[in-house]
Structure 1
Amino acid sequence: MKLRNIILAILSASFCLQAQAITLDEAKAAYSRGDYAEAAPALKDAAEKEPRNARLNLMAGVALMRSSRPAEAESFLRKAGAEGRPYLAELAFNEYRFQDCLDILDEHREQAAKSRRGKKRNAEPEPEDEQSAALREKAEMGLSMLDRVEKIAIIDSINVDADEFFKVYRLAQAAGRILSPSSLPSEFKSADNTTVYATENSDHMIWARPDKDENYRLVESSLLADGSWETPVPLGDNLAMGGDSNYPFLMSDGMTLYYASDGEGSLGGLDIFISRRDGTSFLQPTNLGFPYNSPANDYLLAIDEVTGAGWWATDRNAIPGKVTVYVFVPQELRINYPVDDPELAHRARVTSIAATQEKGKDYSAIRNAIASVDSRPQKPRTSFNFGLPGGRVVHTFADFHNPESQALMNRYLTGCRELADTKARLARMRASYGKGDTSLSADILDTEREITDIRARMADIANQIAKAEQ
């Protein structure tokens, strides 16, 4: 009886596999509509049976490459003749073999020129096709970026659902919050796929919304004294660089902005950029380079100065429906790997997070700091406690009698945040000084004076509030 059941199970499994298999014609139809994962098995089998069929080899190679099976794709693309070379170049690009990519594109261009000369003696050289020219430009950019691969320690990686990836970011309240667009006032528009950055007190927000041409642009809005929100203001078209800008994160200094863009200067789809506020606008952004960016999409870099951890998301690992979130240790000053490091491409690609970590170094303090962050959704802080002469205490903007006091209170709360951030910065410098970094002595003295100045300004504002409420 047991043997009979085993035989039946084998026959049943065999029947299911046959039922799931598709014909070559069905595979070709799936390929035509872009269902590469469905088409790949049958096309691969067919190409293996007809190794001289360039068209079948091309389709099999492309289907495998688009199904995140590059190692299997290469041999088929090499048998596909001239039509396979652009895809081989793309494959090399995706594997950070940028010089190989350029060499293949050169070969493809030279072979095409020879073919034209053979057909027509005085044929004029034709320009490179648009797709190959764009890939060449990206490969040259990637080759240049390999000279600046930042040396960072990645202490964790998390594969999460793409729809709600930002919920795994565990940020201290002082770093601000990352929210879904549903947190915006109902009258505000937002991009279909975006996240909202909100400051610690939820009085300032930055997010992406479509402009009149349906391009995503970063905008910001601040909470007014009467509890309403100001009309969203664009951060600047230069941040988009001719593409979309999205996934903002503003550092606690209120000046440093990290965001993603797929415009000029982007290696892959979305790349992570940094810019700094200059008065009412932002300076020309800079691509963060490797390892943060890749030929795929990379976005939402956030740095928490309280825990000492940084976060960014990427789909470079090509897991269907998932993104990878890396947790890393930010540097005060950028240090790059030597350009002659034989593992440079692997470091840029992050093939191993263990290889990024310093041998023997203990990262438990940062991990513990992250674990101690309260991951429960935080309600916006809409109240405060401010004492006035005579024992009166106000808790909301509406409690003030004089509208001037509301504007002054906004300045006072800004001073509170600035004081907290500066004190945290001083504590970090003192800790580093205690470990032997004596070069920070002048910076520590300057920061102590800065704290004294902030307290003096806050005391002056507090006196102005008291006078306005008399």
Structure 2
Amino acid sequence: MKRTFLFVIMAILAFTYSPAQRKIARKAKPAKETKENVDPRIESMTISTQKVMFIDSIVADKNTFLKEYRLNDEAGSLHRYNDFFATDKLPESYIHINEMGNKCYYSLGDTCDMKLYTSDMLDKTWTEPVELKGIYDKEKYNSLSFPFMMADGTTLYFAAKGTESIGGYDIFVTRFDSETGQYLKPENIGMPFNSEANDYMYAVDELDSIGWFVTDRNQLEGKVCIYIFIPSDTRQTYQTEAYSTEQIERFARIAKISDTWENKSIRSKAMARLKSITEGKRENNNGSRMRFVINNNTIYRTSADFRSKENIQRFETLKTMTSNLNTLATALDKARKYYSKANAQERNELKEEILKSEKQYERLEMDIKQLEKDIRNSENQYYVKKE
């Protein structure tokens, strides 16, 4: 019955579509969990510190830091588990819900031994938790929490304590392997994101190229610092020929965010995008749901903002394609889960269907990106003419 249901879902999806700081608080006593003895891995991590521009930082209360995150709708939403599910059982658990609001990631267990789970929204009800396979390893990681799934539905960031951590919580990244149905071995993302204190809740708004993470390094009890940065597609490190050991150490511990402002113009543009996100959140709270970035200075909030009538129609097509992509992603996820439990005959039947759907997903994703680009380029012509 389940297999038949999945085939029906996949068949329905075989459609034809049209291609589319504030100043940091003064340093106080180190966080409690800072180690007295330097971990031998720290020197190695320091040398390979990732080159990152931090555009701002905010000191906030540990229990309410999420209100400082300004994720746009495309990046999903973050919540405390207790607030979202109206309970007081899991104070250390946080939830990430995807853009469509039909899938979430969170942690369950006691504070000393938490695992990551996922649930789907079906018939207005969250399904029973399903553990994310391949991540949990009691010997290496425990207290897994603060998950954030990237828009690709494959790349997952989370925080954990354990022997793979150089402090309390460290931030890790893993990716889902569709062939095995499990996540790959998590990797510590290193410095400057991780330290001997607690570092967690790494989240990225890919559309506006803005990222956040939290740390209690150099903070008073009950306080944390939210660092806002510009994410990079590729990992670059500080070259020893260009920077002294002392400079790299400062970058590693984020001694001063202005040290990272090599190009102040880039920072200014990022701050403008951050402001737009904040303003967009206010508008969304008043009932407006649309948000389409045209350029660094222009974001459309309603269909009436489009200069071209053709682009209004293209944007409606884009919304339909995006909805279909998310539906297809959900169907694929269910098919993969069933595949891992199916017998040999069922696997043979499912394999070809899954492969076809994966190719369809890739084509649709590419068409969506192209359509977004075409709409932006078309609309930007009006602004070029104006200038």
> Do both proteins adopt the same fold according to a TM-score greater than 0.5, normalized to the shorter chain?
yes
- Which of 132, 147, 152 pairs up with 1:235? 132
2:115 maps to which of 203, 212, 217: 217
1:163 aligns with 2:63: yes
- The answer to whether the aligner puts 1:303 opposite 2:213 as a matched pair is no
Aligned to 2:17: none
Mapped to 2, the partners of 1:170 and 1:164 lie a distance apart of: 14
Distance 1:312 1:232 in 2: 26
How far 1:270 moved relative to its partner?
A: 0.3
Q: What RMSD in Å do the two structures reach over aligned CA positions? A: 3.4
Q: 1:289 to 1:221 in 2, by over 3 A?
A: same
Partner in structure 2 of residue 274 of structure 1? 173
Deviation at 1:370, TM superposition (A): 1.7
User: Quick one: structure 1 residues 152 and 144, their matched pair in 2 at CA, closer, same or farther if it must change by over 3 Å?
Assistant: same
Deviations 1:301-327 (A, max 9, x none): 001011111100000122232100000
C-alpha distance 448-369 of structure 1, shift in aligned 2 (>3 A): farther
Structure of higher RCO (CA pairs closer than 8 Å, 6+ residues apart): 2
Match of 1:413 among 306, 323, 328: 323
Matching of residues 19-418 of structure 1 within 5 Å: 68=29, 135=37, 139-182=39-82, 184-185=84-85, 191-210=90-109, 215-224=113-122, 226-236=123-133, 238-239=135-136, 241-279=140-178, 280-339=181-240, 341-342=243-244, 343-373=247-277, 374-376=280-282, 413-415=323-325
| Alpha-carbon distance in 2 for matches of 1:377, 1:269 | 38
Q: Give the structure with the larger strand fraction.
A: 2
The amino acid across from 2:45 in the alignment is M
Which residues of structure 2 form unaligned runs of 5+?
1-27, 290-319, 330-361, 371-387
Query: Aligned residues: percent identity?
Result: 30
Unaligned runs of 5+ residues in structure 1 are 1-66, 71-89, 95-134, 384-409, 420-446, 456-470
Q: Distance in 1 between matches of 2:283 and 2:116?
A: 24
What TM-score do the two structures reach when normalised by structure 1? Answer: 0.52
- Structure 1 Cα separation of the partners of residues 368 and 209 of structure 2: 26
**Are the equivalent residues in 1 in contact too, given 2:30–2:218 (CA < 8 A)?**
no
Q: Which secondary structure state, in structure 2, belongs to the residue aligned with residue 248 of structure 1?
A: strand
Q: Indicate if the aligned counterparts of 2:171 and 2:188 stay in contact, CA closer than 8 A.
A: yes
1:82 matched residue in structure 2: none
Distance in 1 (CA, whole Å) between partners of 2:209 and 2:119 is: 28
Asked if the contact 1:194/1:247 (under 8 Å) is kept, the reply is yes
Bigger Cα Rg? 1
- Give CA-to-partner distance per residue, 1:434-458, whole Å, 9 cap, x none: xxxxxxxxxxxxx988534999xxx
Shift of 1:290: 0.5
Cα gap change, 1:338/1:452 in structure 2, threshold over 3 Å: closer, same or farther? closer
Query: In 1, are the aligned partners of 2:134 and 2:184 still within 8 Å (CA)?
Result: no
Normalised by the length of structure 2, the TM-score is 0.62
Q: How many residues align?
A: 269
After superposition, the Cα gap between the structure-2 partners of 1:297 and 1:377, relative to the gap in structure 1 and judged at 3 Å, is farther
Q: Is the 8 A contact 1:190 1:210 kept in 2?
A: no
Is contact 1:154–1:357 with CA below 8 Å preserved after alignment?
yes
Flag the structure with higher helix content.
1
Which residue identity does 1:191 align to in structure 2?
Answer: L
Per the alignment, in what secondary structure is the counterpart of residue 135 of structure 2? Answer: helix
